[in-house]
Amino acid sequence: MSNKRVALGIEYNGSLFNGYQSQAAGTRTVQDELEKALSKVADQPIRLTCAGRTDTGVHATGQVVHFDTDVSRELKAWMLGGNTNSPRDISIHWVREVSDDFSARFSAVSRSYRYILFNRKVRSAVFQHNVSWAFEHLDDKAMHAAAQMLLGEHDFSAFRSSQCQAKHAVREMQAISVKREGDYVILDIQANAFLHHMVRNIVGTLMKIGTGEQPVEWMAQVLNGRDRKKAGMTAQAAGLYLINVEYPPEHGLPPSGWLPRIS
């Protein structure tokens, strides 16, 4: 029986996961839970490859994964069975059979994230695991102006975690914006790929500008300095969502996610 490659669009609430990627035994991860669910459908082990590994506490509405199998199942069986056997904080949105040259990771041309900051004097009790919180007022217009300095291809070493395993820090920032919606300040960001903690480190740097601690022009200095110690803090994981992964049209995949909104 010939192998088939199957791609899935998934979402998950990362609050109770130690990130996406499998780790030491006894650690709860998205990959382990979803592989167990799909293995029950296949009646044999399933191993997943993802578009982007998210950290502890980070959410996804548009993660994409793929797996190879020689088991014959209808596509709806993978989705219905996978959702039935998955915990409630993981959901499969769509399933497609793809060509064997498709890779959830290497075929992607861009990845998009949304970061949600709850900007009010008092934290939210209801949304505490789904948004970040900043009690000082943030100037979203100044943050947006500073963010535009990151557009294009740059060395993003200033926003790279010390644990990052990428071979180099050059990435292409394709789009970035900051806007306010009531008590929420929202960052939307798209790049060809991201470094470990890159989005959260950018947000932490923008927050220093948003509070007036640093001027808009400081962002260019941080970027060009390529020194992580000169940038802002690493923002909380709770506000970060992987919302979409884009692929060349020949793969025939739907948009992978949806935009999370709180208000």
**List of domains in the chain:** 4-107 (3.30.70.580), 110-242 (3.30.70.660)
Active-site residue list = 55
pLDDT-derived band at 137 (thresholds 50, 70, 90) equals very high
User: How far apart are alpha carbons 199 and 179 in whole angstroms?
Assistant: 16
pLDDT-derived band at 263 (thresholds 50, 70, 90) equals low
Question: DSSP string covering the chain, please?
Answer: ---EEEEEEEEE-GGGSS-SS--STT---HHHHHHHHHHHHHTS----EES----TT-EEEEEEEEEEE-----HHHHHHHHHHHS-TTEEEEEEEEE-TT--TTTT-SEEEEEEEEEESSS--SSSTTTSEEE-S---HHHHHHHHGGG-EEEE-GGG--TT---S--EEEEEEEEEEEETTEEEEEEEES---TTHHHHHHHHHHHHHTTSS-TTHHHHHHHHT-GGGS-----STTEEEEEEE--GGG-PPP--------
Give pLDDT, residue 1.
55
Does 136 score more than 70 pLDDT? yes
Are 67 and 5 in contact, with CB atoms under 8 Å apart?
yes
Give pLDDT, residue 257.
77
Rounded average pLDDT over 238-253? 95
Torsion angle (degrees, nearest 10) of CA 220, 223, 224, 226 = 160
The residues pairing with 132 across neighbouring beta strands, listed in sequence order, are 117
Rounded average pLDDT over 99-105? 96
Give pLDDT, residue 191.
97
CA gyration radius, the chain: 19
User: How far apart are alpha carbons 136 and 22 in whole angstroms?
Assistant: 37
Residue with tokens 């020689």: 70
Give pLDDT, residue 156.
98
Give pLDDT, residue 18.
95
Does 7 score more than 60 pLDDT? yes
24: Cβ contacts below 8 Å, ≥ 6 apart: none
Q: Which pTM value belongs to this model?
A: 0.94
- Tens digit of pLDDT for each residue in 54-87? 999 999 999 999 999 999 999 999 999 999 999 9
- Tens digit of pLDDT for each residue in 162-207? 888 889 999 999 999 999 999 999 999 999 999 999 999 999 999 9
Does 211 score more than 60 pLDDT? yes
* Integer CA distances (angstroms), 186 to 8, 198, 241, in order: 27, 16, 11
Residue 101 CB neighbours (<10 A):
10
Are 63 and 10 in contact, with CB atoms under 8 Å apart?
yes
Are 56 and 19 in contact, with CB atoms under 8 Å apart?
yes
User: How far apart are alpha carbons 181 and 136 in whole angstroms?
Assistant: 16
